[in-house]
A = this chain, B = another copy of it.
Amino acid sequence: MTADLEITRLRESGGKGFEKVFAFLRERLLAGSLRPGDRLIPERDLAAQLGVSRPILREALRALTVLGVVEIRDRVGTIVRRPDPSVLNDFFTFAFAQQSDVVDDVMQARIAIECQAVRLAAERATVSDFEKLQQALARIVETIDDPDGGSAADFDFHRTVVHAGKSETLIVLHSSLSGILMRSHRGRRELLQVFDSMKTYLIEDHRRIFDAIVGRDPEHAERVLREHFAIGDDFRRRAAIGESDARSAS
């Protein structure tokens, strides 16, 4: 192959060590001359060919690792991976970690994702998806009095809906965003327990969403889901106002 030629040309190209190596590998990955499943040559050899030391090469490989494009397997080698969207979780986690005030903003994105996903779900959901949704729904009913379990069941239902949409991208984004929201507002559901009307809202709303999906009505499904979010937001608002004196915690 023509690898050596390009490597030679790489030597003179600008960049300072790491940048040079990273850019080289990056180009190779993007161009497709390095495809998923390929195993890179040993670090020592690769470092020598690239004209850098092994630590520097490893910095570049490690950088590619966190991007999910390669996998360094101990005592085996470095292999090119099919990019795993799960690394997005890593990023989003960092990206929205500190700013707790962006939770509402992230929530907007979650709504966006779910509303689109529920549309797709209404079109693409399989019988298997229906069953999973049914189960998720049942769990919501079962755990209606349990804050922890209820929160998990709620999240699980929404996750199932998104999965039923069969869009890998939406699934990934939703997963990442959910992670942030769960981390930030873990106890959000607890204060909702105060309202009795809350319980029926939780059950009925989710059931309506389920029905809309089963009924293959994307338009209706989105409307119901959007309503669901709006009502939930309203509950939170009322809870925040009503209890702002009693519990001004964080």
**Residues on the B chain within 8 Å of A85, using CB:** 95
Interface string of A1-35 (1 = CB under 8 A from B): 00000000000000000100000001001101001
CB pair A116–B112 under 8 Å, yes or no, is: yes
Q: Which of A151-159, A168-176, A190-198 contacts B (4 or more CB under 8 A)?
A: A168-176
CB pair B108–A94 under 8 Å, yes or no, is: no
Which partner residue on chain B sits nearest A58 by CB separation?
Answer: B59
**Residues on the B chain within 8 Å of A99, using CB:** 82
How many copies the complex holds: the figure is: 2
Report the Cα distance A3→B90, complex, angstroms: 24
CB pair A94–B109 under 8 Å, yes or no, is: no
Tell me the smallest distance from the CB of A82 to a CB of chain B, in Å: 8
Tell me the smallest distance from the CB of A173 to a CB of chain B, in Å: 6
Tell me the smallest distance from the CB of A92 to a CB of chain B, in Å: 9
Interface string of A110-148 (1 = CB under 8 A from B): 011101110010000000000000000000000000000
CB pair B67–A91 under 8 Å, yes or no, is: yes
Report the Cα distance A63→B58, complex, angstroms: 11
Which partner residue on chain B sits nearest A80 by CB separation?
Answer: B98
Residues in A lying within 8 Å of B, measured CB to CB: 18, 26, 29-30, 32, 35-36, 55, 58-60, 62-63, 65-69, 82-83, 85, 87-88, 90-91, 93-99, 102, 105-106, 108-109, 111-113, 115-117, 120, 165, 167-170, 172-173, 177
Q: Mind listing 8 A-B residue pairs with CB under 8 Å?
A: A36-B98, A67-B91, A68-B95, A83-B95, A85-B95, A109-B167, A112-B112, A112-B113
5 smallest beta-carbon distances between A and B, as pairs: A112-B116, A83-B95, A55-B55, A109-B169, A59-B62
